[in-house]
Amino acid sequence: MRLYDVDLSSRLLLGTAQYPSPLVLTDAIAAAGCGVITVSLRRETANGGANGFWPLLQATGARILPNTAGCHSAQEAITTAQMAREVFGTNWIKLEVIGNADTLQPDPFALVEAARVLCADGFAVFPYTTEDLIVAERLLDAGCRVLMPWGAPIGSGRGLRHVDALNAMRAHFPSVPLIIDAGIGAPSQAAQAMEMGFDAVLLNTAVAKAGDPVAMGRAFGQAIAAGRAAFEAGLMPPRDMAVPSTPVLGMADLGLGGLR
């Protein structure tokens, strides 16, 4: 997978919040085999700055994708992104501008505004958005080269709630990397996204809050690899009627006429 001219060996992006311990976090990252991990500037500074969380993340060898989690305005997100670039030494940024405190749905207007400013400032922007095609067009016009539509509200674990809309988005932007971000609760849901042709999946809670985060991280890594392999192999189309897998030509006729 290639994102912003960077080749990545894994299609799983993993969040770093809510794990029971730093050791479990690093073991889960290793088990999942993910090449990108996300972290908020607020979490990094809350865990001791240069002497805490940041060295832990560096030691994993994964690429860091800072995010603007918790921001509710374009200016707040822009300022947070600029600070994150200084702290983490990367121009990659996952752009979140929350518009509703209950659903954590992104604010499309502030999102596009912030994306335009950050792209002009040299950031490689990964915008957390909905499956709305018009918003997606505006984000691409602003300079984004990747889109991250939600599967369901953050932390809900409900999977892909609007499959038809996501399929339409995939078909509408065939050459744009699309990453399902948020709402994935089970490996089967991640595999479904990959089978639909999405390029990657970003998740956090489903691994961090699992009974065994390390085993769950491994399961998600395997599910995403299997889903992508199935997509590339070419899934059979669904049918309205049964079709026998065994040919009927040459079978014996045991009706009233006997064998023929």
Q: Could you read off the pLDDT of 8-51 as tens digits, one per residue?
A: 989 999 999 999 999 999 999 999 999 899 998 765 554 444 45
Residues 111 and 94: beta-carbon distance below 8 Å: no
Annotated binding site: 155, 182-183, 204-205
pLDDT at residue 256 in the model:
58
Name the more confident of 28 and 54.
Answer: 28
pLDDT over 70 (residue 254): no
pLDDT, mean of residues 77-83: 96
CA distance 191 to 100: 28
Structure tokens at 210: 């699992």
Q: Is 94 a catalytic residue?
A: yes
Q: Could you read off the pLDDT of 117-150 as tens digits, one per residue?
A: 999 999 999 999 999 999 999 999 999 999 999 9
pLDDT > 90: what percent of the chain? 77
Annotated binding site for 1-deoxy-D-xylulose 5-phosphate: 155, 182-183, 204-205
pLDDT > 70: what percent of the chain? 91
**Candidates 43, 94, 170, 228; catalytic one:** 94
Q: pTM for the full model?
A: 0.89
Phi, psi of 140, rounded to the nearest 5 degrees: -65, -40
